[in-house]
A and B are shown apart, each in its own frame.
Chain A
């Protein structure tokens, strides 16, 4: 819906002292009337028609949806709480957009009336059209895309948050049963019931270790290799770089499965081809510690090429002058690396490196495909290599324990988002937004 100045308004003589903005505001409680009062006929009628049809079409469904969201149905078998939840959330989203449009309508009537009162010249058709294109262009582009993103990104998030406050699990699943709101009970269980708190603690600590170790190793290796290969004396740079980014170029879900086969305890190539020469057979998939080592190794293999590419690009863009100046001052190679290369690279790549950490924190594919989170650990309902996300997956799709999965998801989401937000704010791209 477009709230720009409709073409068709010709010049109006100066100031209308007794034109009252408040009246315009009150009139536009019915969309369009305020605009008509402002003598903006086309806009007024457009608002009136669109506004009234939206109100007529949407009010009842939205109220109905919100009501369903509140009580989640009252007859088992007939009312499916999940659908009520979906409809309810969608209703809330539509309702919010709706109220936003309504507010725009009110403020538009008020502003136009004020202009008219002060006798600001109403723009000519040409001018009005230009203005609307000028000011409206970003909105024409952004608004539809944001609505779609809200559906694909925000809606699922809201749905998940809602589930965390219901009692939805295998034994209480719609349509045979109705869901109920249970407040913070799931979160409480997570921290107080032994099975849950023990699993949560072990999964959480492994997730943190995994994220930090795997990502840091992968960045360090990439940085090291990028600097080495950037050395002027190295030839065949193109060939070397091509081979080094191969692990990135090959679809990762396939390489992980290949690795799974290679690490197989009995017939895997790693044990047979390499460790058998030393008389060793390492239980890669069945021992928690070895499984964790293997999985970190695989992630480093998979993940370093991206960072390597990134850092190579930055290295090539560092001006030679810096190094020449350092040579004049007699700086050692380590000093040049420490005070020129490192700050440049980290400065430039910080946001993307942060995303690497958050990527690994949520690296479901690798954990799931490698060993499905196993080997199992007794006394808890999570496996040894389970990170939060893979644990959530098995809770959701294997055990249908939606309520707990949702509660855990929320906790991990808050952790990652808070960490990323803090880091984003520290990086300069965030601060510089308004500099031009």
Chain B
């Protein structure tokens, strides 16, 4: 009796903590949502749900001739999809090589890159600007995608390699006995087994362009090539209070699809990250 009472108290304690966390997590999100419904441009809204809420800001984003929102959305999707696809291809094949082959520099090269990447890249941005300028890739999606793909490569290879290391080598040895080539082993055996971590890499690289405003800010010049992050940032950077409600609306339309994908892939995230980390 006493024992079960104690247990019940503990469980309610846990739920209480969970509820507090829910409140802390949801408060800013709900607040942003309520802002986006708030007519006008004011940040003052006394209630969480405004009295005369309206969807005018959402409508503005899509129908007003001054709004480039759909264009930015399209640009971001182009960059995000290309980055995701290219990264997954390169990362998996590199991780395969690093996990299964022995070659000169195998042990140190990836760590060297990881360490070098810890140097702050901000100053490097000036160099990347000049570099892209000399090869005429400034203000192009190609330049932006190249920087994303190869900049993120070391970290992602490290993650996937850790995961592949956990897959027994006996599997590919026996496939080799049966006459399978490298490509067969890679596509038919390792790729299907590594699906969780590949999902993680695909997700991370797909989302990077949605999150990042700094790289496009330096590479992209013309307004018709802005990505969402850059466009929305400029939105509120000029006159903060004035456009905040529209910014909130634009933000929510990005957050919803991304969060949905994220939550759907939750299962993969948990197992992929944990297994990659265990052997990392």
Q: Which residues of A are in contact with B by a Cβ distance under 8 Å? A: 82-83, 86-87, 133, 137-139, 141-142, 145-146, 148-149, 151-160, 163, 225, 228-229, 231, 233-234, 240-255, 257-259, 261-262, 264, 267, 269, 301, 309-310, 312-314, 316-317, 348-349, 351-352, 358, 362, 364-365, 388-389, 392-393, 396, 402, 405-406, 409-410, 412-413, 416-417, 420-421, 424, 427, 429-430, 433-434, 436
Contacts and interface: CB of A to CB of B under 8 A. Distances in A.
* Closest A-B pairs by Cβ, 3 of them: A313-B274, A156-B124, A413-B119
Contact of B123 (A225, A259, A261, A396): A396
Given A148-B150, A309-B269, A313-B271, A251 B210 contact: yes
A219 to B, nearest CB: 13
Interface of B: 7, 10-11, 14-15, 17-18, 21-22, 24-26, 28-29, 31-32, 35, 43-44, 90, 93-94, 97, 101-103, 105-107, 109, 111, 113-128, 130-131, 134, 146-147, 150-151, 153-154, 162, 169, 182, 207, 210-214, 229, 232-233, 236, 240-241, 244, 247-248, 251, 254-255, 258-259, 262-263, 266, 269-271, 273-275, 277-280
> Which of A225, A269, A416: most chain B Cβ within 10 A?
A269
Nearest to B90: A145
A200 B166 CA distance: 44
A249 B263 contact: yes
A179 B131 CA distance: 19
A409 B123 contact: yes
30 contacts: A82-B130, A142-B105, A145-B94, A146-B109, A148-B146, A148-B150, A151-B131, A152-B147, A155-B131, A157-B124, A160-B119, A160-B127, A228-B18, A229-B14, A243-B21, A246-B259, A258-B31, A259-B28, A261-B240, A267-B241, A316-B270, A389-B122, A405-B123, A416-B119, A417-B119, A429-B162, A429-B279, A429-B280, A430-B111, A436-B169
Nearest to A349: B277
A351 B277 contact: yes
A247 to B, nearest CB: 6
A392 B269 contact: no
Contacts of A434: 107
A245 B262 contact: yes
A247 B120 CA distance: 25
A234 B17 CA distance: 12
A233 B15 CA distance: 11
B253 to A, nearest CB: 11
A431 to B, nearest CB: 11
Given A148-B146, A396-B123, A313 B109 contact: no
Contact of B126 (A137, A310, A402): A402
Contacts of A396: 122-123, 126
A267 B211 CA distance: 27
Contact of A244 (B25, B102, B103, B118): B25
Given A153-B113, A159-B126, A225-B21, A254 B119 contact: no
Contact of B14 (A142, A231, A267): A231
Contact of B266 (A225, A234, A241, A258): A241
B154 A153 contact: yes
Nearest to B276: A352
Given A148-B150, A250-B259, A409-B123, A137 B118 contact: no
Contacts of A146: 109
A157 B28 CA distance: 38
Given A316-B270, A417-B118, 11 more contacts: A156-B123, A241-B266, A243-B22, A251-B254, A254-B32, A254-B255, A312-B274, A402-B123, A416-B118, A417-B119, A433-B107
A34 to B, nearest CB: 21
A364 B270 contact: no
Nearest to A410: B119
Nearest to A243: B22
B155 to A, nearest CB: 8
A255 B210 CA distance: 13
Considering residues B25, B122, B259, which has the most beta carbons from chain A within 10 angstroms of its beta carbon?
B122
A156 B7 contact: no
A157 B115 CA distance: 12
B248 A258 contact: yes
B61 to A, nearest CB: 14
A229 B124 contact: no
B258 A251 contact: yes
A301 B262 contact: no
A200 to B, nearest CB: 15
Contacts of A247: 25
A245 to B, nearest CB: 7
B212 A314 contact: no
Contact of B274 (A246, A259, A264, A317): A317
B130 A264 contact: no
Given A156-B128, A246-B25, A257-B236, A413 B118 contact: yes
Contact of A253 (B115, B117, B233, B269): B233
A111 to B, nearest CB: 15
B14 A228 contact: yes
A312 B270 contact: yes
B116 to A, nearest CB: 6
A364 B214 contact: yes
